[in-house]
Amino acid sequence: MTSNHDDEGKKKESAARKEMANRCEQCGEELAAKNNFCPLCGKPVKNSNSVSYWVYQLNLLQAKGKIKKAIEAAKNLMQVDQQNPYIHSILGELYYQAGAINESIASYRKAIETNPGQAKDHYNLGISYYRSGRISDAVSCFEKCLELDSGFIGAFYWLGIAYYHQGSQQKAIAAFTKLLEMNPDSVIANYHLGINLSSIGQHEKAIPHFLKVIEASHEDKAALYHLGMSYYNLRRINEAVETLRKSIEANPDDKRSRDLLESIINVPEI
């Protein structure tokens, strides 16, 4: 038989639990029934009807590298809110991480269909298209990304790469030049500018970019080879030989540099 004192204690405990259920677990802020996030600290509200809470849990799975579980969670979440562009977007990212490129493309396209104004979704779709060999589609996505956000620096890089593989070196040069304007210390922009310039015979313009890469990257092996090739094409033979020897010293297995150096040294005198 319980005493009135015990009953009163249980009532107080129940009331306290009910009050805490309506407060944020992290900061204790009082929550309204409609809250998906705490208005004070931003923590997602833990309740079965809160899509934002499950998106939060989905992000945790992804951060822990549990990609397959995260994909299943995202697919289940899709049943709750099929028109949520963020869920489609994160599912596209998860599929890409899992190597399921076609599924990644489908998810990003659905995200864009639902919310076409997100530059990042166009960018990510472009990368998925590029990885699947659909270069023209990739170019269109990167161009759309930059139309929405002209400062999206990664899109200039991928656009330059895609243009190069299309054989559009002048457009690639323009993209990498813009990337270099935005990030003057970019080693990768200098490298690809050098590659594209040398591919159309502009070796004098390519050389300074290769030199910057070598200076910044402690004698980058690929840049040394291409620098040697540019010197050779300009008939600056001594510089070509010196550079190719450095390339071989940095990478003894570099057959390209060895073959080019041998062809230069063994040219018969006329």
DSSP, residue by residue, 121-176 = HHHHHHHHHHHTT-HHHHHHHHHHHHHH-TT-HHHHHHHHHHHHHHT-HHHHHHHH
* 227 lies in some domain: yes
Range of the domain at 264: 185-270
* 254 lies in some domain: yes
Domain count, the chain: 1
- Let me know the angle formed at the C-alpha of 183 by 250 and 217, rounded to the nearest 5 degrees: 10
The two tokens of residue 48 are: 């079965």
* 257 lies in some domain: yes
* 247 lies in some domain: yes
* 204 lies in some domain: yes
Tell me the per-residue pLDDT of 45-95, one tens digit each, with 9 for 90 and over: 566 556 677 777 788 888 899 999 899 888 888 887 888 898 899 999 999
pTM score > 0.85 for this model? no
* 211 lies in some domain: yes
* 190 lies in some domain: yes
- CATH classification of the domain holding 223: 1.25.40.10
* 225 lies in some domain: yes
Contacts of 195 (CB under 8 A, 6+ apart): 164, 206, 226
Q: Go through the chain and tell me how many residues it has.
A: 270
In the chain, the N- to C-terminal Cα span, in Å, equals 117
pLDDT of the residue at 59: 83
Tell me the per-residue pLDDT of 144-198, one tens digit each, with 9 for 90 and over: 999 999 999 999 999 999 999 999 999 999 999 999 999 999 999 999 999 999 9
